[in-house]
Amino acid sequence: MATLVSFHAHPDDECIVAGGVMRKAFEEGHRVVLVVATRGEVGEVPDGFLDEGEELWQRRVQETHASAEVLGAKRVEFLGYTDSGMMGEPRNDVPGTFWQADVEEAAQRLAEILREEQADVLTVYDDNGGYGHPDHIQVHRVGMRAAELAGTPRVYEATSNSDEMRRGMEEAVRTGQMKAEDLPDFEDGSEFGKPEAILTARVDVGAYLPHKRAAMRAHASQISEDSFFLAMPDEGFAQAFGVEWFIRAGQGPGITETDLMAGL
């Protein structure tokens, strides 16, 4: 049995980009640990959603534990920082937010968990945090440094395949499922995910899609039943979430891995 630690920015992030590899590792007999930098204090819920006197972060902590149970995580830890909001918002500058955290200090907190667990594998995000969110970028910085401090041998940067995303959208336009005017401008310099050429791991998590969806459903304060994630048909959900992509330093060129826990 080996140990996988999956590090994320906010409650609900875990089930979107790494829920499949977490459940896969659990079902193959490995120990899975979930670490979240913040308690997801930023967000809006309908009136009456929270109990009287209940704070949003309290509900999101409960939801994270429910999601972790679905995904097979046997330990859940929060590093104690607060949500920084989207890039450019005033919250970015508030002391105590994850974006304002000292990288070395935060890395020491995570490294302590990695040492306690004798972690074999750590997942973080790519250097742009997947899509530029400050807390996600900080997960990359803190996670990479923590792995150095703890001597964690395998570190995978969770990301998206931007080339596949582009191909999928263009096919949706071709088949009439999407309007051409809704197609993003892929040449405008914005970045969501990473080009296929620099990805090193493609993990088929199709067998665990029911768990990914159930974990998303556990985060009802963030992912409603009529949300993009839960409202799409099974075929669309499988296409969007059936593969999880990663970058591992020293691997490649090209995609050379299909299992983060191989050989452990």
pLDDT digits 0-9 by tens, 156-199: 999 999 888 788 777 777 777 667 766 666 554 457 899 999 99
Residue-number span of the structural domain to which 151 is assigned: 3-161+199-248
In the predicted structure, residue 109 carries a pLDDT above the cut 90: yes
| Greater pLDDT, 4 or 231 | 4
CATH code of the domain covering residue 156: 3.40.50.10320
- When divided into structural domains, the chain yields a total of 1
Query: Which range among 42-51, 86-95, 222-231 has the greatest average pLDDT?
Result: 86-95
Residue 15 inside a domain? The answer is yes
In a domain, 189, yes or no: no
Q: Is residue 81 part of a domain?
A: yes
- Return the pLDDT at 189: 47
Whether 204 maps to a domain, the answer reads yes
Structure confidence by residue, pLDDT tens digits, 41-66 = 998 898 899 999 999 999 999 999 99
Mean pLDDT of 92-103: 97
166: in domain: no
What's the confidence (pLDDT) of residue 218? 97
- Percent of the chain having pLDDT more than 90? 78
Mean pLDDT of 208-227: 95
pTM of the model: 0.93
> Does a structural domain hold residue 140?
yes
Q: Which pLDDT score is estimated for 182?
A: 62
Q: Assess contact for 30 and 1: CB atoms under 8 A.
A: yes
Mean pLDDT of 132-158: 98
Residue 180 in any domain: the answer is no
Can you tell me the distance from the alpha carbon of 81 to that of 98, in angstroms, rounded to the nearest whole number?
Answer: 5
- The verdict on residue 184 lying in a domain is no
- The pLDDT of residue 71: 98
